[in-house]
Amino acid sequence: MSLHSPSPIGPGRPREFDFDDAVRDATAVFQAHGYTATSMVHLIEGTGLSRGSLYKAFSDKHSLFLAALDRYAANGLSRLSNDLDKEPPREAIRTTLRHYARLSTAREGHRGCLVTAAAMELLPADDEVRERISATFKRMQNLLATVIRRGQSSGEISTRCDARAHARFLLCTIEGMRVLGKTGPSEAEMEVLIAIAMDTLD
């Protein structure tokens, strides 16, 4: 979706810009500073847009943050769904955990996860953010439970496992890695966590 000026840009007119690009750039700003500490100056500098253009498109900082959160969560859920469908169930879970482990180390780890950061900073007070994060976590848990059940059907995962309970455990492992990533763990340290998580499926 693009916002276009109806005529050449003149005094007081918002510049032409791409909505999705603005949300993508704003996401990086919110990841760098957190919601509360992000100022309009940060957003103007991060998106390259004028104050007027931002307010016209999003009305306020909170609306822009919700758009960024929606985009971030949708992309993450799409990747998770694709990754869990690519390989046999057990390997798909291992690959998925390794993906989040990589995101939780080095530079990416310090940037952190927008969903996790929003949960820690804005919940339980912000109802709109709470609804979005609850829906995202529920969807992640459902995707993980589905692949566990597939693994049980194929004999790769123990039928002693409670699929929903183990899916919630894996979700907690993933989110825990994203928080731990802020402290700078190594990939080797994350691999130990993955091995422990995989052992629970036996």
The model's pLDDT over 53-66, given as tens digits with 9 standing for 90+, comes to: 888 889 899 999 99
pLDDT of residue 1: 31
> Which are the contacts of 56, defined by CB distance < 8 A and separation ≥ 6?
3, 14
Highest CATH level, class, for 69-202: mainly alpha
pLDDT tens per residue across span 149-202: 999 999 999 999 999 999 999 999 999 999 999 898 988 999 999 999 999 999
Record the pTM. 0.87
| CATH (one of 3.90.220, 1.10.1760, 1.10.3470, 1.10.10) for 1-59 | 1.10.10
Residues facing 3 on adjacent strands: 17
- Go through 92-128 and write b for each residue having 16 or more CB atoms within 10 A of its CB, e for each that does not: bbbebbeebbebbbeeebebbbbbbbbbeebeeebee
Who wins on pLDDT, 92 or 57? 92
Q: Rounded to whole angstroms, how far apart are CA atoms 102 and 194?
A: 11
Each domain of the chain, given as residue ranges in start order, spans 1-59, 69-202
pLDDT tens per residue across span 149-161: 999 999 999 999 9
Beta strand pairing call for 2-3 and 17-18: antiparallel
SS3 call for 3: strand
